[in-house]
Amino acid sequence: MRLGSSKWDTLRKGFPSGVWQLGVCMPVILKYIEVCFVLDDVPPYFKTEPVRSQLHLERNRLVLTCMAEGSWPLEFKWIHNSTELTRFSLEYRYLIPSLDRSHAGFYRCIVRNRVGALLQRRTEVQVAFMGSFEEGERAQSVSQGEGAVIPAPRIRSFPQPQVTWFRDGRKIPPSSRIAITLDNTLVILSTVAPDAGRYYVQAVNDKNGENKTSQPITLSVENVGGPADPIAPTIIIPPRNTSVVTGTSEVTMECVANARPLIKLGITWRKNGMLVNSGLSDFNRRLTILSPLVSDAGYYECEAVLRSSSVPSVSAGAYLHVLEPPQFIKEPEKHITAEMEKVVDIPCQARGVPQPDIVWYKDALPIDPVKTPRYRVLVGGSLQVNGLLPDDTGMFQCFARNSAGEVQTNTYLAVTSIAPNITAGPSESTVIDGMSVILHCETSGAPRPAITWQKGERVLASGSVQLPRFTLLESGSLLISPSHISDAGTYTCMASNSRGIDEASADLVVWARTRITTPPQDQSVIKGTKAIMTCGVTHDPSVTVRHIWEKEGSVINVQSIPRMRLDPDGTLHISQTWSGDIGTYTCRVTSVGGNDSRSAHLRVRQLPHAPENPTAVLSTSEKRAIDLAWAKPFDGNSPLIRYILEVSENNAPWAILQANIEPVSTAVTVNGLIPARSYQFRLCAVNDVGKGQFSKETDRVSLPEEPPSAPPQNVIASGRTNQSIMIQWQPPPESHQNGILRGYTIRYRLTGLPVDYQIKNISSPDVTNLLLEDLIIWTNYEIEVAAYNGAGLGTFSHKVTEWTLQGVPTIAPRSVQAEPVNSTTIRFTWTAPNPQFINGINQGYKLLAWEPSRDEEVSMVTVRPNFQDSVHVGYVTGLKKFTEYYTSVLCFTTPGDGPRSPPKALRTHEDTPGAVGHLSFTEILDTSLKVSWSEPGEKNGVLTGYRISWEEYNRTNTRVTHYLPNVTLEYRVTGLTALTTYTIEVAGMTSKGQGQLSSSTISSGVPPELPGPPTNMAISNIGPRSVTLQFKPGYDGKTSISRWQVEAQVGVVGENEDWVMVHQVSNEPEARSLEVPGLNPYTFYRFRMRQVNIVGTSPPSQPSRKIQTLPAPPDMAPANVTLRTASETSLWLRWMPLPEWEYNGNAEQVGYRVQYSRAGSQGRALIHIITDRLEREFTIEDLEEWTEYEVRVQAVNGIGTGP
């Protein structure tokens, strides 16, 4: 609907004044039709102005905002230092994620809408940072008495850092001689020699907290020692011209002077020639003006005077400029309305120090009166626009700028008198659901018409209304994005300004979009199977769709390909797939409701082909390796997973060598091959379909022969004799022979001595043992064995050590002395033979004593070696009394005895004699009998006579005793009572006294007879080494029993075994039980007894039952114990196992107990039990490195531990 201007004026008069500018929508009744008018658009304006400056840290996040309002749509653009950062957009913020110093500068935004554009006041972004000092170490000098000026080292920093001066590590505070200027220069006045030194500064940025220390500055003072003459005043740091803005808290002028003597130096200040007394500090070197005003500006001069001196004063001065930011004294109204072709003045005047410059902008662009003569800037700053045109409508901005800052003001100029006119209205349009559509509405008019879009009674977009998906463009057109089915209908564009209103309408049709909702999917099928490509569609019911399938951009004619079929719903079927079907398939759907297309890739997989051109050559970079290469085969349209490599060694059947070679590989080095063998290879590729065909075989490659890489195995050495060792071994593993073995090399030498190896060579690989002969007796050898082939000698085995068997000592003990101790004992003393002649382990000494005429009957006592004392002592006991003996001592080892020491003769001491021999009775009458005897077998001295006594049995008061000469060997006893039992005793006598009595009972008139055997023998109290025999005495032969004898079968018990005497007891005729000592533990025995009287020995008793003595701990320690180092943490212990008869127990329960501890340690020793009785060595492991240990080995059985 269109409204004429007269109607519009009538409507407008009906509204209160100012409503048209407020943008109010009001209902108006016109010919009973309710109409909604939207009044003038609101120009953009800033809600807030940005701060003049803002300080931020590096790497911080910065967000700048442009707080503006006005009619929609509002668009924003950002500018940095006159450079555009963005284009116009709806985003009112500008984000810098991480600040750095390059982001410092002036920022401002421009905001615009359909009415006009505004330029925001700039804001300065400052970025705090600190670099490094730019100078290295430097030096400077000054003459004594002069002022030293040391500028601070340069450093890039914002803001300027706080600087502290140091000298030799100590802070330097200002003083009468020290000044630190405003630019941090260090001034040392009236320098003296002690001022020389190293100076440096520490700079601190109080915004980011960083601090840096400079390189040192070395100051030297020259002309030291000269006269301290007065020095005229000089101003070395004069005042500087300074500018400051009003509102600043303070401003400081400085003036540093030098003179000598410094104590008489004075400084005064003047402003424009007038003396200044306030604000002075730092020994009058600084003048500070608080809250400076424009009236504080002027020429400031300092004067340096040396008091009480005729030396003239010096002075210097500088200007202080106090700036004042611009301030408007005249501004335009926010809204100016003017008619076309008229002249309008837009006022703008400002003041400030210095006088601000006035710059005008229209819609954020600077106005150039030269290019646009109708625009003229008047004196004072106002803008005059002549011959107003509709295009002059817009935002005008006045900026007042000087060196202290800038301010801005703005107004909206509306040129009236042209009613709105829609020059290009909307047209009937059709859009697909989800697409965007623009309904055009281009207008003219002055002021520029406001645009309102409606659908029915609903306002969709205007300068003050903005619904989702509906956007009012700057041109006035309406953008609908995305469109919905519900958007179909009639749309009206209404253009209005103060002169009237115009409108235009059009219909919009929205079709449901044709979409592929079930698109084809990427497929991977195995060759020969079926592939199905779907293409489901949803569309508007009024729209007809068409399916077209393409492969790689070319249309597929389904009717001409029997393997393909197209269903009505668009599904494509492909049967009997092969490699020609591989590609990208596209389903295209065409309709007036929109077109759509979706693509999917079809991959037809098959087994990979065999790798091509496999080659195998000897590796040039690695030993025992073959380089294998091949060409990558066709992968069967499926990525290769791996390669399988097979090998044939020496024409053996094929075997998998590597089953998982990386699929990207086309070469591999096969390592770990065996020299002197030939190899052939083949490969196959594997993908997810399966394993392909094997490649052709490579040429057979033979590896060169190499020396054996492993030593012979199971090297064992054992001593055979005292001068030979048998060494045995097995060939190296076949995989390490590296060729055909030719033989073995054996090298050996003495263990632990720096001697050369002796070499033996065996030229046959079948010989795996060697007897090393002509060795040193009882010497430890280390032996190694290596195999060799045609390429050379291989590695030697680990050392095995073995001793030659022990020999016998070759010299006798030294310093042998022997002397009788009593009648049966000889005491021996001797020293050990030289160890190097023992030829084995010293098992001890044998003390020998024999009668001169009986060399074969030697009394021997074995004595263990005593390694603590140098002189050994031993005794031979049980010798014959008063008998001449030869004595000797020998040392023995396990193999045998060494030579005896030279024999020495001696005689045992005299003693009482033994029992007389052959005591017998003859010529037995009623009152007398003849007693006969022989000399004692053991005279034990010189016989001096005999003692004979007799008494009635058990009547000592009837005893008769006679002493007879030594030549008497018979005596007739007379005066006896007939048929009476008498006890007759005979004893020999020496100078030592009466000897052993020989006694017997006899009845006068009754001759004695041979006794009978004991009976009823029983065994009790069986122990490890003794038993008790109970018995009943046999017939005594009519005389007393003088001795009991015990015989036994030992070990093997049988009828035909020998009986040996194991025990006898004398002079106990009333005995009924005997303890038999000296038995062997865990040994079988059978016993029998005899009884002896004056006539002789009885026959043996019946044998006892077979018994076994109880077990006992072993009596012997293992022999030939040797200990040597096996490694840093282990020891090797070896010994000779006990003979079986020394077990003293069950052979199955015999073992060894190894006990070891650190030497000198008081802690508990560690123990290891070895249960194998035949074991002869043990390795002690997990020991501490380089530590001395004490080791002990003992035999053990089920009863206990031996020595």
| CATH code of the domain made up of 814-907 | 2.60.40.10
- Beta partners for residue 1196, in sequence order: 1151, 1201
Whether residue 590 contacts residue 513, with contact meaning beta carbons closer than 8 Å, is answered with no
Q: What is the pLDDT of residue 999?
A: 83
Whether residue 599 contacts residue 586, with contact meaning beta carbons closer than 8 Å, is answered with yes
Closest CA to 570 of 594, 596, 592: 596
CATH 3.40.50.12280 assigned to domain 134-227? The reply is no
> Is the confidence at residue 994, as pLDDT, over 70?
yes
> Is the confidence at residue 7, as pLDDT, over 50?
no
* Other beta carbons within 10 Å of 980: 16
Task: Indicate the pLDDT class of residue 18, thresholds 50, 70 and 90.
Answer: very low
> Is the confidence at residue 823, as pLDDT, over 60?
yes
State the SS3 of 30-70. ECCEEEEECCCCCCCEECCCCCCEEEEECCCCEEEECCEEC
**What's the rounded Cα separation, in Å, for the pair 922 and 906?**
41
**What's the rounded Cα separation, in Å, for the pair 154 and 134?**
6
Q: Which CATH architecture has domain 713-803?
A: Sandwich (2.60)
What are the pLDDT digits (tens) for 934-966?
Answer: 889 888 888 999 999 999 888 888 899 999 998
Q: Where are the beta strands (DSSP E) in 1041-1083?
A: 1041-1050, 1060-1066, 1073-1076
DSSP-derived secondary structure for 229-256: --EEEEEEE----EEEETT-SEEEEE-E
Residue with tokens 């000779």: 1136
What are the pLDDT digits (tens) for 645-655?
Answer: 999 998 899 99
**What's the rounded Cα separation, in Å, for the pair 805 and 780?**
10
**What's the rounded Cα separation, in Å, for the pair 104 and 892?**
106
> Is the confidence at residue 1133, as pLDDT, over 50?
yes
Angle at 921 between CA 919 and CA 922, to 5 degrees: 135
**What's the rounded Cα separation, in Å, for the pair 428 and 509?**
8
Which of 209-223, 696-710, 919-933 has the least mean pLDDT?
919-933
**What's the rounded Cα separation, in Å, for the pair 956 and 985?**
12
Q: Is the peptide bond before 261 cis (omega within 30 degrees of 0)?
A: yes
- Distant-in-sequence, close-in-space partners of 119: CB < 8 Å, separation ≥ 6: 108, 110, 361, 364, 397, 399, 408
Angle at 201 between CA 195 and CA 203, to 5 degrees: 160
Whether residue 779 contacts residue 804, with contact meaning beta carbons closer than 8 Å, is answered with yes
What are the pLDDT digits (tens) for 337-383?
Answer: 888 878 999 999 999 999 999 999 999 999 988 888 999 999 889 99
**What's the rounded Cα separation, in Å, for the pair 1087 and 872?**
41
Q: Which CATH architecture has domain 515-604?
A: Sandwich (2.60)
**What's the rounded Cα separation, in Å, for the pair 324 and 247?**
9
Q: Is the peptide bond before 708 cis (omega within 30 degrees of 0)?
A: no
> How big is the chain, counted in residues?
1203
User: Positive or negative CA dihedral for 1161, 1164, 1166, 1167?
Assistant: positive
Q: What is the pLDDT of residue 729?
A: 93
Whether residue 380 contacts residue 221, with contact meaning beta carbons closer than 8 Å, is answered with no
- Label residues 866-904 b or e (16+ Cβ within 10 Å = b): eeeeeebebebeebbbbbebbbbbbbbbebebbbbbebe
Q: What is the pLDDT of residue 1054?
A: 65
**What's the rounded Cα separation, in Å, for the pair 1050 and 1078?**
12
What are the pLDDT digits (tens) for 896-925?
Answer: 899 999 999 999 999 989 888 888 888 787
Task: Indicate the pLDDT class of residue 505, thresholds 50, 70 and 90.
Answer: very high
Q: Which 8-state DSSP code applies to residue 139?
A: E
* Ramachandran quadrant class, 792 (left: phi over 0; alpha: psi -120 to 50; beta: rest): left
Angle at 1058 between CA 1052 and CA 1059, to 5 degrees: 100
- The highest-level CATH class for domain 230-328 is mainly beta
Structure tokens at 138: 């430097």
Whether residue 629 contacts residue 645, with contact meaning beta carbons closer than 8 Å, is answered with no
- Beta partners for residue 588, in sequence order: 548, 597
> How far, rounded to the nearest angstrom, does the alpha carbon of residue 453 sit from its chain's CA centroid?
72
DSSP-derived secondary structure for 730-774: EPPPGGG--S-EEEEEEEEEETTS--PPEEEEE--TT--EEEE-S
Task: Indicate the pLDDT class of residue 27, thresholds 50, 70 and 90.
Answer: very low
> Is the confidence at residue 39, as pLDDT, over 50?
no
Mean of the pLDDT values across residues 779-802? 93
Rg (CA), the chain: 67
Closest CA to 147 of 304, 270, 256: 256
Q: Is the peptide bond before 73 cis (omega within 30 degrees of 0)?
A: yes
> How far, rounded to the nearest angstrom, does the alpha carbon of residue 325 sit from its chain's CA centroid?
67
Using alpha carbons, list the distances in angstroms from residue 292 to 247, 543, 896.
7, 82, 125
Q: Which CATH architecture has domain 612-702?
A: Sandwich (2.60)
Q: What is the pLDDT of residue 15?
A: 37
Closest CA to 1139 of 1078, 1202, 1085: 1202
What are the pLDDT digits (tens) for 714-753?
Answer: 999 988 888 999 999 999 998 888 889 999 999 999 998 8
Whether residue 1076 contacts residue 1087, with contact meaning beta carbons closer than 8 Å, is answered with yes
**What's the rounded Cα separation, in Å, for the pair 185 and 68?**
48
Using alpha carbons, list the distances in angstroms from residue 222 to 122, 177, 194.
55, 18, 11
Q: What is the pLDDT of residue 1053?
A: 63
Structure tokens at 478: 């309406």
* Single-letter code of the amino acid located at 886: Y
Comma-separated ranges of CATH 2.60.40.10 domains in the chain: 45-127, 134-227, 230-328, 331-415, 417-510, 515-604, 612-702, 713-803, 814-907, 917-1003, 1015-1108, 1119-1196
User: Positive or negative CA dihedral for 954, 956, 960, 961?
Assistant: positive
Whether residue 395 contacts residue 346, with contact meaning beta carbons closer than 8 Å, is answered with no
Structure tokens at 1071: 């005995």
Task: Indicate the pLDDT class of residue 389, thresholds 50, 70 and 90.
Answer: confident
Angle at 742 between CA 739 and CA 747, to 5 degrees: 115
Q: What is the pLDDT of residue 1042?
A: 81
Whether residue 435 contacts residue 386, with contact meaning beta carbons closer than 8 Å, is answered with no
> Is the confidence at residue 1055, as pLDDT, over 80?
no
Grouping H, G, I as helix, E, B as strand and the rest as coil, residue 1020 is strand
Whether residue 1055 contacts residue 1011, with contact meaning beta carbons closer than 8 Å, is answered with no
Angle at 257 between CA 253 and CA 259, to 5 degrees: 165
In degrees rounded to 5, what are phi and psi of residue 1192?
Answer: -135, 135
Whether residue 746 contacts residue 698, with contact meaning beta carbons closer than 8 Å, is answered with no
Instruction: State the first-to-last Cα distance of the chain, in angstroms, to the nearest integer.
Output: 133
Q: Is the peptide bond before 159 cis (omega within 30 degrees of 0)?
A: yes
CATH 2.60.40.10 assigned to domain 917-1003? The reply is yes
- Match domain 1015-1108 to its CATH number in 1.10.3720.10, 3.40.190.10, 3.90.700.10, 2.60.40.10: 2.60.40.10
Q: Which 8-state DSSP code applies to residue 1100?
A: P
Q: What is the pLDDT of residue 1056?
A: 66
Whether residue 983 contacts residue 1003, with contact meaning beta carbons closer than 8 Å, is answered with no
Whether residue 64 contacts residue 107, with contact meaning beta carbons closer than 8 Å, is answered with yes
- Match domain 417-510 to its CATH number in 2.60.40.10, 3.40.50.300, 2.70.98.20, 1.20.1070.10: 2.60.40.10
Closest CA to 218 of 241, 235, 233, 200: 200
Note if the pTM is more than 0.85: no
What are the pLDDT digits (tens) for 270-280?
Answer: 999 999 999 99
CATH superfamily of 45-127: Immunoglobulins (2.60.40.10)
Listing from the earlier edge strand, what are the strands of the sheet with 1151-1158?
1166-1170, 1151-1158, 1189-1196
Q: Which fold has domain 1119-1196?
A: Immunoglobulin-like (2.60.40)
| CATH code of the domain made up of 331-415 | 2.60.40.10
